[in-house]
Amino acid sequence: MTDDALHQLYLVRADNIMPVMLAAEAGNVDAYYVMKAVKLALEQTEKAQFNCMCLDCSTKFGPKSRPPPAFAIWIPLKTPTEKFQVIAHPICARCANRDDLMNAIFKFSRKAWPKSKPMFVEHPQWAD
């Protein structure tokens, strides 16, 4: 992701993944990219291509760990390309239950991409 990118930021939890899956199957483009990013992150973790850490602590995820209960997803406002990808970052159970999780996600975003412009997006149609 380029530093000056304008992107949408989603928080997807295990307990709300089914509505996202259904929205993706129904043709919702954002839901499709969210699911694609989560699927790729889970596949890479399961294949031990990388051990990644939680977005805001040192909890590690790998092939022998439980899947992350939540993901922060960044989707560029322009159509993703090979050079400009959707990003899914895992969040551990402890951090996923924090009251200040969104602040932690924005802090991570600013640190990783100082000039980026994240916009948190909520989609009521994904709610149960």
> What does the domain layout of the chain look like in residue ranges?
6-122
Could you read off the pLDDT of 87-111 as tens digits, one per residue?
888 999 999 999 999 889 888 888 8
Contacts of 4 (CB under 8 A, 6+ apart): 115, 116, 117
- Judge whether residue 49 has pLDDT over 70: no
pLDDT tens track for 117-126: 777 776 545 5
Q: What secondary structure letter does DSSP report for 69?
A: S
Residue 84 pLDDT grade (very low, low, confident, very high; cuts 50, 70, 90): low
pLDDT in tens, 7-41: 788 888 888 889 889 989 999 888 888 999 999 88
Quote the pLDDT of residue 109: 86
Predicted local confidence at residue 120, as pLDDT = 78
Looking at the predicted structure, is the pLDDT value of residue 74 above 90? no
- pLDDT at 128 exceeding the cut of 60: no
What's the confidence (pLDDT) of residue 1?
52
Answer yes or no: are the C-beta atoms of 56 and 100 closer than 8 Å: no
Compute the mean pLDDT over every residue in the chain, rounded to the nearest whole number: 81
Task: Give the distance, in angstroms, between the CA of residue 55 and the centroid of all CA atoms in the same chain.
Answer: 10
